[in-house]
Amino acid sequence: MEIIKEKSKNCCIFNKPELEFKENKDFSVVKEYGEIPAPNNCTRNLLKCNKCGALFLSQSLEWNIDGNDNYYTDYIQVKDIIEADKLNNQLDALKFRNKNNPMIMIDSDNTVRYIFPESNTNDEQEYAKELVENAEKIIKSIEQQESEQVNDQSKKIIDTTVKVEIDKNEYDILKKLEQEYMDFEFVDFAIKLYSGSVIPINHPNYNDDRIDIEIFGLDKYSININGQKYNINSQQLFNKIKSFVTNNLDTLIKCSKAQNNLYLNSNSYEGGNSSYIKIKYGQLIIYINGQVSGNIGNFCEQFIDIVKKLIIDEGEKTNFNYFDEMIGKIKDEKKTDLEDEFTKYCKLYEEKFGKKAYIAEPGGTKEQTINAIKICLEKDEDLLDKILYPTGDDDINNRVMY
C-alpha cells in the first residue's frame, strides 16, 4: 500500500484535478466513510475506476469562497478494501488545516504535485511534504505490524491435542496397532497370519485350531499354533516362508485388490471364526480379510494352512519343547556313558591291584577316579591314594597331571 508515485495509464481519475462526486461518471463509490465535521467539511470515500478497476481512498474538501463552492480531492491508491479501511482510520490522526489542505495529484511526468486552494507558499509546500511523509510512515507502520503478526502466528505452536477417554481394552488395541505399524515400517519383509475362533482368551477351547503367526525377521517373531509356541532357529525355514510368499505374490495382490467388504460372511462374531493375512514385501503392504466369502476366503485359509505346515514340518528344529527334550537326552546319554566307563575302570583297577577303587571325598567325581586309574595302569603302580589325596610335591604334581 503506497501513495501513488506512478501514473495509471487507463485511470481517468488523475486527469481531473477537480471532481464533483455526484456528477462524475468515470468512477463508482465502493464504500462511503462519511463526513468529517467542520471546519474541514471533508468527505472520504473508497472509489473504483470504471475503466481500470483501480481502488483509491479519496479525501474531498469542500468550502465556499465568495459565494462559490470549491471541491478538492486527495487520492491514495490502495491494494484492497481492508487496507483502505486501515488507512482511513490512521488518517483521522493527521493534522488538517481548514482551507490549506493540499491535494496530492500526479502530473504527466509521473511526479507528485501538491495543489492548494488559495496559495502555494513555501510553508504550505513544507506542510504538504510533511503530510505525505506522515501518511507514508503510517502505511509502513501498518505493513510492519501486519508482518510482525504473521511472523508471531508462524512461531506459535498450536496445540491440537484432543483428550478422549477410552477403556483399557481399546487402549491396548490401539497400542498394539501402533507397535504393529512401527514393526512394519522398518522391515523389508514381514508376515502376520491369524485364524481362530472369536472367543474370550480365558475360554477352555481358546487355543483349539488357533493360528497366530507374526514374523518380522529371523530374530523377531512370535508363533503360536494350537497353543504351542514355536521358534525359528533355522534360516532355511525363514527362507522357505519368504519364498512361498514370493511365489504367490501375484495372487496375494489380486486377492487384496479384489476383496470387497460387501461380501463378508459376517461370522466374526463371538463364537464365529476370524482370519486374515497381512504381509509387508518391500514397500508393498498386502492385506486380505479371510471373512470375504468365496475364492478369496478359501485362498486365505489355504495360505495360512500351508505356512502352518511349513513350520510344523520343521518341528524338531523349532518346537521349544524339542530342545528341552534333546538336552535331557544328551544328559542321559552322557550319564549312561560315564557310568559304563566308571564301572569298566573300577573293574580293571580291582583286577590289577586287588582292591576296589573309590571316589574321593569330599568333592570327588567319577571322572577324577577314572583318570587316576588310567595313570595307575599306565605306570603299573597303585597311585590312587596319592593322586586323589596328594600330600607331597610329587603327589601334587601327579594330581595336576589329572
DSSP per-residue string spanning 242-293: HHHHHHTHHHHHHHHHH--GGGB----STTSEEEEEEEEETTEEEEEETTBT
Predicted TM-score of the model (pTM): 0.39
In whole angstroms, what is the distance from residue 126 CA to residue 123 CA? Answer: 5
Element (H, E) at 318: helix 315-318
Choices 3.30.70, 3.30.310, 3.30.1560, 1.25.40: CATH for 168-318: 3.30.1560
- Ranges 60-69, 109-118, 176-185: which has the least confidence: 109-118
In whole angstroms, what is the distance from residue 193 CA to residue 200 CA? Answer: 19
Q: Is residue 96 over pLDDT 60? A: no
- Ranges 70-74, 99-103, 231-235, 387-391: which has the least confidence: 99-103
In whole angstroms, what is the distance from residue 92 CA to residue 45 CA? Answer: 13
Question: What is residue 2's predicted lDDT score, i.e. its pLDDT?
Answer: 34
Could you count the other beta carbons within 10 Å of the beta carbon of residue 22?
A: 6
| Phi and psi angles of residue 247, each rounded to the nearest 5 degrees, phi first | -65, -25
Question: What is residue 278's predicted lDDT score, i.e. its pLDDT?
Answer: 92
Quick check: 390 and 396 in contact, CB under 8 A? yes
Per-residue pLDDT, averaged over 181-200, amounts to 85
Give the chain's mean pLDDT: 72
Question: What is residue 63's predicted lDDT score, i.e. its pLDDT?
Answer: 59
For 317-354, write each residue's pLDDT tens digit: 454 455 555 555 555 555 568 888 999 999 999 988 98
- Show me where the domains of the chain are located: 12-155, 168-318, 329-401
Q: How confident is the model at residue 262 (pLDDT cuts 50, 70, 90)?
A: low
Question: What is residue 32's predicted lDDT score, i.e. its pLDDT?
Answer: 84
Question: What is residue 98's predicted lDDT score, i.e. its pLDDT?
Answer: 34
Q: Is residue 309 over pLDDT 70? A: yes
Q: Is residue 193 over pLDDT 60? A: yes
Question: What is residue 271's predicted lDDT score, i.e. its pLDDT?
Answer: 60
How large a percentage of the chain has pLDDT more than 70?
Answer: 59
Q: How confident is the model at residue 5 (pLDDT cuts 50, 70, 90)?
A: very low
Q: How confident is the model at residue 296 (pLDDT cuts 50, 70, 90)?
A: confident
Quick check: 58 and 37 in contact, CB under 8 A? no
Burial of 397 (0-12, 13-18, 19+ CB in 10 A): exposed
- Ranges 110-119, 215-224, 240-249, 303-312: which has the least confidence: 110-119
Q: Which residues, at least 6 apart from 382, have a Cβ–Cβ distance to it below 8 Å?
A: 353, 355, 376
Q: Is residue 45 over pLDDT 90? A: no
Q: How confident is the model at residue 392 (pLDDT cuts 50, 70, 90)?
A: low
For 126-171, write each residue's pLDDT tens digit: 655 666 666 667 667 767 777 777 666 666 666 666 676 777 777 7
Residue 203 C-alpha cell reads as 475360554
Q: How confident is the model at residue 246 (pLDDT cuts 50, 70, 90)?
A: very high
